[in-house]
Chains A and B, each alone.
Chain A
Amino acid sequence: MPAYKLTYFNGRGTAEIVRLVFAAAGISYEDVRLEQDKWPELKPKTPMGQVPILEVDGTMLCQSNSIARYVAKQAGLAGKTPMEQARVDMVMDVMDDMGKKGNAVFWEKDEETKAEKKKEYEETFLPQFFTCVNKLVGDSGHFVGDELTLADITYFNTTNLVGNYFKLPNMEEFSGLKKVTEHVTSNPGIAKWLKERPETPF
C-alpha cells in the first residue's frame, strides 16, 4: 500500500474533491494543511507552483482533477469503460467551468462590475447551467452507470462550494441532481468525512 500525502492550505478549496474521493474509496492518506507562511518555501518544489499536490512514494502530482482521477481509479470510481470515463470527465470539466466562473466573479475588483456579474451568475447562468447538468443524470440517480463515480462526487462538491458564496437556484426543481446528492451524502465514507472534516472558512 503506497503512502499518500495530500498537501493543501487549511481549507476545502480545490483539494476537497480529492479528500472526498479518498473518503469514498476508503483509502487512508496524510491530510497536510499548510500554514500560509510555509507556502513560499514549498511553492518552488511543486510542479506548477500550485497546491494541491499529492505525493505518492516520492512522486509529486499536481492538478486537483488529475489527482482525483488517479485516486478514483484505485477504487473503481472513475468509470468502467473509456466512454464511461469520458462521461465522468465531462461532468468534472463542466462543474469546473461553473466553479471557475464563480471564482472570477468572487475575485472581481470593481464593486459595480462584481454586483452585475454576481446577479448574472446567480439569476441567469446557474439556472441554465443546472438545467443542462440535470439532463445528464441517469434514471439510476447517477451521472454515469448505476454506481457512484467521481462525476457524482464532483457535482456535489462544486455545488456545495459555490453555494457558500452564491445564491443557488431552487435545487428541488432538479430531480436528477437531488438523487445524485442523496447518493453522495449517503456514501458511508463520505458521510463520515462530512461529519468529521475540519470546519474552515473556505
Chain B
Amino acid sequence: MPSYKLTYFDGRGRAETCRLLLAAGGIEYEDNRLPQEQWPAFQPKTPFGQLPVMEVDGTMLCQTNSIARYVAKLAGLTGKTAMDQAKVDMIMEGAVPLFQKAGDVVMGEGDEAKKAEKKKDFEENFAPKFFADMEKLAGDKGYFVSNQLTAADIAFYGNYESIKDFVTLPSFDKYPKLKKVVASVQANPGIAKWLKERPQTAW
C-alpha cells in the first residue's frame, strides 16, 4: 500500500477537492497542513513553488487537478469509458474558473474601486453564466456523468464550497440539477464523514 501525503495550508482552498476525493475513495493519507511560517522553507522543495503537492512513495506531484485526477483514478471515480472520462475532465477543468475568478475578486490586484468592479462582474455576469452552463451539463439524477458519482460532481462541489462564503453566488433554487449534485456529493458516505470531522477553517 503506497503512502500518500497531501500538503497544503490549513484551509480548504485549492486542496479541498483532493481531500473530498480521498474521502470518497476511502483512501488513507497524511493531511499535512503547513503553518504559514513553514512555507518559505518548504517552498523550494516543491516542483513549482506552489501548493497543494502530493507525495506518493517519494514522488511529488503538483497542480490541483492533476492530483485530483490521479486520486479519482485510485478511487474509481474518473468515469468508466474514455468518453465518460473526457466528460468528467471537461467539468473538472470547467469548474476551476469559478474558484480562480472568485479568488481574484477576493485576493487579486487593484484598489477598492477595482475590486468592487471585479466583484460586481463576477456576481452579475460570470457566476450566473457559469451556473447556467453547469446546469445544462448536469444529469437529472444528481450526477454530471453516467448517472453515478464521479470526480466531476466532487470538483464542482469542492470549487463551489471553497468560495461560497466570500462571494454572492446565485441561488440553487434556480438550478435544481446542480442542487441535486451538491446533495449527491454530501450524501456519499466517505464525504459525509469527512464533512463532519474535518478541521473547521475560515477558508
Interface residues of A (CB under 8 A from B): 47-49, 56, 59, 61-63, 65-67, 69-70, 73-74, 82-83, 85-87, 89-90, 92-94, 97, 129, 132, 135-136
Contacts and interface: CB of A to CB of B under 8 A. Distances in A.
A92 B48 CA distance: 13
B65 A89 contact: yes
Interface residue SS majority, chain B: helix
A94 B63 contact: yes
A93 B133 contact: no
A66 B93 contact: yes
Please classify how large the interface on chain B is, using the bins under 10, 10 to 19, 20 to 34, 35 or more.
20 to 34
Contacts of B93: 63, 65-66
Interface string B70-96: 100110000000110111011011100
B133 A49 contact: yes
B66 interface: yes
B56 interface: yes
A56 B83 contact: yes
A74 B86 CA distance: 12
B69 interface: yes
Contacts of B136: 47
Interface string B112-152: 00000000000000000100010011000000000000000
A89 B133 contact: no
Interface of B: 47-49, 56, 59, 61-63, 65-67, 69-70, 73-74, 82-83, 85-87, 89-90, 92-94, 129, 133, 136-137
Contacts of A63: 89-90, 93-94
Nearest to A136: B47
7 contacts: A48-B133, A65-B89, A66-B93, A82-B74, A83-B70, A94-B62, A97-B48
Interface of A (DSSP majority class) = helix
Name the residue in A83, A86, A129 with the highest tally of chain B Cβ atoms < 10 Å from its Cβ. Answer: A86
B70 A61 contact: no
B50 to A, nearest CB: 9
A84 to B, nearest CB: 10
Given A70-B86, A70-B89, A47 B133 contact: yes
A85 B69 CA distance: 9
Contacts of A93: 63, 65-66
B66 A89 contact: yes
B94 A62 contact: yes
Contact of A86 (B47, B48, B66): B66
A75 to B, nearest CB: 12
Contact of A49 (B63, B74, B83, B129): B129
Tell which of A61, A63, A97 has the most Cβ of chain B within 10 Å.
A63
A56 B83 CA distance: 9
Given A47-B137, A94-B48, A89 B70 contact: yes
